[in-house]
């Protein structure tokens, strides 16, 4: 009986040893870092940094080109000669002018329904056209060209209360 126990214990010990060897084969062995792998990693990082730097330079140059183009379009509002034949809502014409000359179009105040305008000019400066639009909608709103903020504003005037109410 003692011999049988010894055989069972030996068998258990052998199976445990065999299981440990099998599991040890599954474990990943770490490779020591060598100079070649460090150089390879450094080269990949340097390549990616170079791509990022080039992209940033391209982005900045495009922004500068856009600024130059916008500045020349905005300066043209004083010197261009335009021919216009327009009948309609002033907002439409003002939005078109803002877009063409690189200005932001903003409406402020309590919106009221403005009467249609009639603009017919030949070889007029955009500034004079804006003055004409402002004169035609005088009682309903003001037209303001703000060159410092690059904004064309339509500022609605408050509607006066009807007289005689009490």
- We report the CATH number of the domain holding residue 120 as 3.55.50.60
Q: Is 92 part of any domain?
A: yes
Report which of 152, 140, 137 is spatially closest to residue 106, judged by C-alpha positions.
Answer: 152
Rounded to the nearest angstrom, the gap between the alpha carbon of residue 136 and the centroid of all alpha carbons in its chain is 36
Report which of 101, 40, 52 is spatially closest to residue 75, judged by C-alpha positions.
Answer: 101
Average predicted confidence (pLDDT) for the chain: 81
Q: pLDDT, tens digit, for every residue of 60-94?
A: 888 877 777 777 777 778 888 999 999 999 999 99
Q: Is 94 part of any domain?
A: yes
Contact residues for 125 (Cβ-Cβ < 8 A; gap 6+): 77, 78, 79, 80, 81, 82
Order of strands, sheet of 104-108, starting from the edge strand that comes earlier in the sequence: 104-108, 151-156, 141-146
CB 87 within 8 A of CB 118: yes
Q: Is 12 part of any domain?
A: no
Q: Is 93 part of any domain?
A: yes
Q: Total domain count for the chain?
A: 1
Q: Is 83 part of any domain?
A: yes
Q: Is 32 part of any domain?
A: no
pLDDT of residue 166: 46
CA gap 87, 93 in Å, rounded: 9
Q: Is 35 part of any domain?
A: no
Taking the alpha carbons at both ends of the chain, their separation in whole angstroms is 121
CB 85 within 8 A of CB 134: no
pLDDT of residue 153 exceeding 60, the answer is yes
Q: Is 132 part of any domain?
A: yes
Q: What range defines the domain where residue 110 resides?
A: 75-156
CA gap 55, 64 in Å, rounded: 14
Q: pLDDT, tens digit, for every residue of 106-140?
A: 999 999 899 999 999 999 999 999 999 999 998 89
């Amino acid at each position: 009986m003692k011999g049988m126990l010894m055989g069972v214990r030996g068998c258990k010990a052998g199976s445990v040893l065999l299981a440990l060897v099998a599991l040890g084969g599954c474990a990943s062995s770490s490779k020591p870092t060598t100079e070649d792998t460090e150089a390879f990693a450094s080269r990949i990082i340097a390549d990616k940094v170079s791509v990022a730097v080039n992209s940033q330079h391209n982005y900045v140059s495009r922004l500068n080109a856009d600024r130059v183009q916008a500045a020349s379009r905005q300066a043209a509002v004083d010197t261009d000669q335009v021919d216009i034949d327009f009948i309609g809502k002033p907002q439409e014409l003002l939005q078109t002018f803002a877009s063409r000359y690189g200005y932001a179009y903003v409406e402020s105040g309590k919106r009221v329904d403005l009467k249609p305008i009639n603009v017919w000019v030949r070889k007029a400066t955009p500034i004079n056209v804006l003055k004409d639009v402002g004169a035609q909608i005088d009682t309903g709103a003001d037209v303001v060209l703000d060159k410092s903020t690059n904004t064309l504003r339509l500022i609605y005037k408050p509607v006066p209360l009807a007289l005689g109410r009490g």
